[in-house]
Structures are given as C-alpha cells and as structure tokens.
Chain A
C-alpha cells in the first residue's frame, strides 16, 4: 500500500486560483476525509490526486513516485464517482470487468476477481443486470466493486453517498468503513457532510476557500477546533459562538458577553488578557441542565424544544444571540419547560481570537 503526499499543491483556472498551496501527507492504509462547504476545493484536490485535473503548482506523490505528469490510468488509483458513472450499456459484471479487460487481464482471473468482489458486496445475483435495473444502493456498490477489482494502491471517493436517501446513506457508510477495514487500502474521501467525515475518517482535513483549516482525528477536531470555521463546521448542531470581552476577577478570568458573565476558572493562561475581544464557543453537547461545582451558568430564554427521542435540542438565546443545547431527555421533556439557565464546565468553553478567529490557549 502506498501513501499520498501533497506538497504546496496549487490549482489555477486561468487567473483564478482555487486551491492555494495545500500540504497533506496521507499515510499508507489511512482513511482520510476531505470535508468542507461547496467550492472549498476538496473535490478539485481529489481530482488532482486522481489525475483528472492538472496540478498547476506543487508536487503530488503516490508512494515515492512523483505523479504530477502521470496519466490517471498509470497512477494505480481507483475512483468512485458521485453519480456512479456506471456504463449503462454494460451489465454489472461487465462494468466491473471494464478496467481489467482494458488492462488485458486473463479471462479466468477476471471471472475469479469479479466473483469474489461481488460476494463481498452482495452483488452476486445482480451480475447480469444493467445499471438501469438496479436501486441506488446497488449501483453505488457496483461503482465500489469497479474500483475494488483493480486492487489499486489508493481509493478515491468523490461524495459517493450524496445521491442516496438518508437511511441508505447510513447503511452504505458502515459498509464503506467495513470494506476499508477488510481491504486496508489507503482512501481519500470527499464529502460536505461532516457526519460522514466524523464516522468514516481516521483523520479529517477541513477545507475552506482552497485552504486547509485543520487536520486531525475526528475527536481532535471536535474537542479542539483550531479556529471558528472548524468549530462551526464540525459537530451537529454546530458549536454555539458569541462575542465576548475577557475580564479578570479574583476567581479567575471571565468572559463578558452582552451582559452575561461566563466563568473561565482553570483557564489560567488567560490571566492578564483582560480587555481582549474573543469569540466564546460552547458545544451544544457540553451544556448541562444543572449546576455542578465550578460550572459557569448562562442565563437563557427558552424559545423551543426539538425532541429527538433520547435527546432534545433546546433552542434558546443569550441576550440576542441564538444558543442551542443538546440534552438528554430520559424519556420525557416535562422537566425542560421553564428552564432559564444552562451550565457548562469552564474547561469545556473554547475561546477564539475575535480578529484572527484562531483558537486561544492551544496549538493551532
């Protein structure tokens, strides 16, 4: 298995630069997800790895090989497209065999590989069918089968689940994860869905406007977002953010937001930063209903309760800023009515510099 290394990768269309010098090292067998909003350059980056887009500047290596000027077919990568791109005039078996036939693989070997792959993907009984006669999930599996049979060094996935309905997406997500465990092929996966990113990735690369905002494991990104963009992008619902000014008190630093005081005990690094304008970030999941020792309490006004079953989303506001909390219901929501304060452990409160948007008090 090979890794992938991007060094200073730039993509320009004429005078417009859409990817601004990306550095990324993907280790062999790693599952890396590129995630970001539409137009952030994630698909372009993937297509540059595939060889479908020319690299304007920088170096792309697969294994030890510089592949900037290597044709897609010679890069030993396989790609699963968003729209599947199955050949409609060929049946499932022929679709999967297409690449092998072009590479002049012996017939009996093709038959064997296809039989094995079809078994892994549960496609054995559909081998004679045309793509038009398959469901969305089956087509997606054929598209993966077509990639698998070639035993490539690297799998590339370009938003492969975005055309499926929610239930099927969850199912296929698990299947992709299982497949990666079984085959151990280095995988680069592009999605705009942070849930997919969180569930699939060994490491997530968050992109915005052609730059990498942060690279880390799902939990690193969740717990220690490097900036307000990542904080807002990773997590569902997103991290609550509101502006505040730091103040000092005897008990430790305090964030003063619009008349609300949030204690930041323990964040001693902030001492002496009084007067600094910051953005306070609090994850909805980190909000508690009752106070504990040392917790900061936030007075809120409850707007509405969204019930999800075992959990509920409390839509509230702090001053005039919306604030969402995700709390457990224990099967009923009566106790949530009339709430006027929420609580959070000071250590859970994230602070970002208001000007740069970068996290304060941690290595970015």
Chain B
C-alpha cells in the first residue's frame, strides 16, 4: 500500500473521485437487493403503504409461507434447475469442442467458420422467424427444445476460442508426440489448462439459464414446464388483478408485493451459493510455469 503522503494532488483527487464513483455504483447495485429482501420479510400492509425502505417493517415470514405452500412454485423451481444444469452441460458440450476446433490453424475454412459464428452476435433472425423455426422443428412447449435451442452462445464460444488460441502451440505438439489424438489433446491438456476460462463461461451459462425468461415465456405453454422466472411473472399478474387474493390478503400478513419479493429472493439464493465455488478460478493463472518464454 502506497503512503498517502506520496500521492500528488492530482493523484489524491483521482483516488477520491474513484472511491466516490465506486461507492455510488455499489449502492446502486446493492440497494435493490436489500430492498427486495427487506420487502419479502415485511408485512403486506407495510409494503402496500410504502413504508419499506431499508429494513423489514413488521417482520414476518407470511409471504414465504404462502409461496412455499404453492406446488407450482416447487415445479417451476425444479424446472429452472433442469434448464440450468441441462442447459449448462449442453452448452459446454458444444462450446468446448467447438472453440477448440475453431482455434486450430489446421481447421479447413477456419476464417469462414469464425466469421459465421461472429455474424450471429450482431445479426439474428428475430423473434417471429425463430419462433416459426422452433415450431417447425417440433420444439414448441418442449423442455429439451429450451435446453438445445440456446446451447451455443457466440460470445462464450469466441471467449473460449481466444483462450485456446493463447495456449502455446508446443503443449499441443508435445501431447501429439506423446501419442494423443485430437480428443485427448483437448480433454487432457487444453481443458485442464483452461479451467479459469471454462469456469467463467460456466458461470455465464448458469446465470443466463437461471434468469432465462423471455424465450421460456414465448416457447412454453404448459404450466408444468415453465421455469421460476415465468412463474414469477404469472404470480405477479395473478396477484395484481385477483379480487379473491385481495380479500385473502387483508387478513393475512402478506401482499402481492411481499410475495413477489419472496419469490425473487428464493430465486437468487442458488446463484449466490454457486458463485463462490466458481469465483476462485477466475483470476488463477494456471498456465504459469509449464513453458519458459
């Protein structure tokens, strides 16, 4: 740590401005989370009256009690797990070999393939053609369809391809001399060397699958196939204009707002649990030491 006195005035000003900006950003990111958590533990009355700001008012678990009793909550929770785990595994199965192939100079037509992949990052077919495509493939209202359709993400593919390209060629050559074929070079050398990159795209896949809402809403009709995010959407619209619920909640300690907040908190928990396990790979320079440059 540098001694504060050694900073010039300009440096001090810069350091202070950076701290202020980071502080503001932290508050802007953290506050919605705190607000939702406080809301979920507040009474319906307090929530409706707009009293919740930072901490739960009239603390209660009624909202959680309400959603945990709803079987549809558990079904959609299970579905989200299926989409997340299945989708992430499927993505990795496509992206890892794909990125390896695209990173190899000996791939015939490599530039063209890379161009095709990158093209999809800027241009895509759009909502209606994609929907029609899924319909014609018989993948509407299909859990497998959701898992398969979004398996390859061009950004993740290019990210991993770039990482593979940066691995010194001599590792591949050494493995080939040792008798490894393409698959062995990939799984026994490139994948272990790329743990940080693979952990990163795994996290990207998990988060995007976990939060996947739009296409699940468009492509899935059956209640027993929808993920948590779509269930949340249904719940919000049900609660907002449901007279029966309005009567019910007058006596109970929850409201549409607190129930919505409780579902959101429940949906965040698994991501919070997974993140620390993947995070350790992020900054780790596993390549150090094997090659002397």
Instruction: Give the docked Cα–Cα distance between A136 and B292 (Å).
Output: 8
Q: Does B290 sit within 8 A of A, measured CB to CB? A: yes
Given the complex, which residues of B lie within 8 Å of A102, measured CB to CB?
Answer: 178-180, 184, 188
Instruction: Give the docked Cα–Cα distance between A330 and B189 (Å).
Output: 57
Q: Does A139 sit within 8 A of B, measured CB to CB? A: yes
Chain A positions 287-339 with a Cβ under 8 Å from a chain B Cβ: none
Q: Does A362 sit within 8 A of B, measured CB to CB? A: no
Q: How far is the CB of B111 from chain A (nearest CB, A)?
A: 15
Binds B, one of A126-134, A210-218, A239-247, A268-276: A126-134
Instruction: Give the docked Cα–Cα distance between A52 and B171 (Å).
Output: 12
A72 touching B177, Cβ below 8 Å: yes
Binds B, one of A18-26, A74-82, A248-256, A341-349: A74-82
Binds B, one of A83-91, A185-193, A229-237: A83-91
Q: How far is the CB of B178 from chain A (nearest CB, A)?
A: 3
A50 touching B289, Cβ below 8 Å: no
Instruction: Give the docked Cα–Cα distance between A134 and B290 (Å).
Output: 10
Given A88-B193, A89-B193, does the pair A83, B292 have CB atoms closer than 8 Å?
Answer: yes
Q: Does B274 sit within 8 A of A, measured CB to CB? A: no
B177 touching A79, Cβ below 8 Å: yes
Given A87-B171, A88-B286, does the pair A77, B292 have CB atoms closer than 8 Å?
Answer: no
| Option from B192, B193, B289 in Cβ contact (under 8 Å) with A133 | B289
Given the complex, which residues of B lie within 8 Å of A87, measured CB to CB?
Answer: 171, 174-175, 189, 192-193, 290
Instruction: Give the docked Cα–Cα distance between A94 and B247 (Å).
Output: 69
Question: Residues 134-151 of chain A: 1 if any B CB is under 8 Å from the residue's CB, otherwise 0?
Answer: 101001000000100010
Given the complex, which residues of A lie within 8 Å of B168, measured CB to CB?
Answer: 83, 85
Q: How far is the CB of B96 from chain A (nearest CB, A)?
A: 16
Given the complex, which residues of B lie within 8 Å of A51, measured CB to CB?
Answer: 176
Q: Does B58 sit within 8 A of A, measured CB to CB? A: no
Question: Residues 267-293 of chain B: 1 if any A CB is under 8 Å from the residue's CB, otherwise 0?
Answer: 000000000000000000011111111
Q: Which residue of the partner chain A has the closest CB to B292?
A: A163
A81 touching B288, Cβ below 8 Å: no
Q: Does B170 sit within 8 A of A, measured CB to CB? A: yes
Given the complex, which residues of A lie within 8 Å of B289, measured CB to CB?
Answer: 86, 88, 130-134
A52 touching B292, Cβ below 8 Å: no
Instruction: Give the docked Cα–Cα distance between A139 and B291 (Å).
Output: 9
Q: How far is the CB of B56 from chain A (nearest CB, A)?
A: 47
Instruction: Give the docked Cα–Cα distance between A100 and B177 (Å).
Output: 11
B178 touching A139, Cβ below 8 Å: no
Indicate the member of B173, B174, B293 with the most A CB atoms within 10 Å.
B174
Q: Does A103 sit within 8 A of B, measured CB to CB? A: yes
Instruction: Give the docked Cα–Cα distance between A47 and B45 (Å).
Output: 78
Q: Does A99 sit within 8 A of B, measured CB to CB? A: yes
Q: Does A222 sit within 8 A of B, measured CB to CB? A: no
Instruction: Give the docked Cα–Cα distance between A150 and B170 (Å).
Output: 18
Instruction: Give the docked Cα–Cα distance between A24 and B215 (Å).
Output: 65
Given the complex, which residues of A lie within 8 Å of B180, measured CB to CB?
Answer: 73, 102
Chain B positions 181-219 with a Cβ under 8 Å from a chain A Cβ: 181, 184, 188-189, 192-193
Given A89-B192, A102-B184, does the pair A73, B288 have CB atoms closer than 8 Å?
Answer: no
Question: Residues 147-186 of chain A: 1 if any B CB is under 8 Å from the residue's CB, otherwise 0?
Answer: 0001000000000000100000000000000000000000
B290 touching A88, Cβ below 8 Å: yes
Q: Which residue of the partner chain B has the closest CB to A158?
A: B170
Q: Which residue of the partner chain B has the closest CB to A133?
A: B289
Q: Which residue of the partner chain A has the closest CB to B293?
A: A83
Instruction: Give the docked Cα–Cα distance between A216 and B189 (Å).
Output: 40
Indicate the member of B168, B170, B178, B291 with the most A CB atoms within 10 Å.
B178
B173 touching A89, Cβ below 8 Å: no
Instruction: Give the docked Cα–Cα distance between A78 and B177 (Å).
Output: 6
Given the complex, which residues of B lie within 8 Å of A72, measured CB to CB?
Answer: 173, 176-177
Instruction: Give the docked Cα–Cα distance between A349 and B176 (Å).
Output: 49
| Option from B177, B179, B291 in Cβ contact (under 8 Å) with A84 | B291
A86 touching B290, Cβ below 8 Å: yes
B192 touching A85, Cβ below 8 Å: no
Q: A73-B177, A83-B168, A87-B174 are in contact. List 13 more A-B contacts (CB 8 A).
A: A51-B176, A71-B176, A73-B176, A73-B179, A73-B180, A77-B177, A79-B174, A82-B170, A85-B173, A88-B193, A99-B178, A103-B179, A131-B289
Please list 22 pairs of residues, one from A and one from B, whose beta carbons are closer than 8 Å in the complex, sorted by A's number.
A50-B177, A52-B176, A52-B177, A72-B177, A73-B176, A73-B178, A79-B177, A81-B173, A83-B170, A83-B292, A83-B293, A85-B173, A85-B174, A85-B291, A87-B290, A88-B193, A88-B288, A98-B188, A132-B289, A133-B289, A146-B174, A150-B178
The 10 closest A-B pairs by CB, nearest first: A132-B289, A88-B290, A99-B178, A85-B170, A85-B174, A73-B179, A89-B192, A83-B291, A102-B179, A163-B292
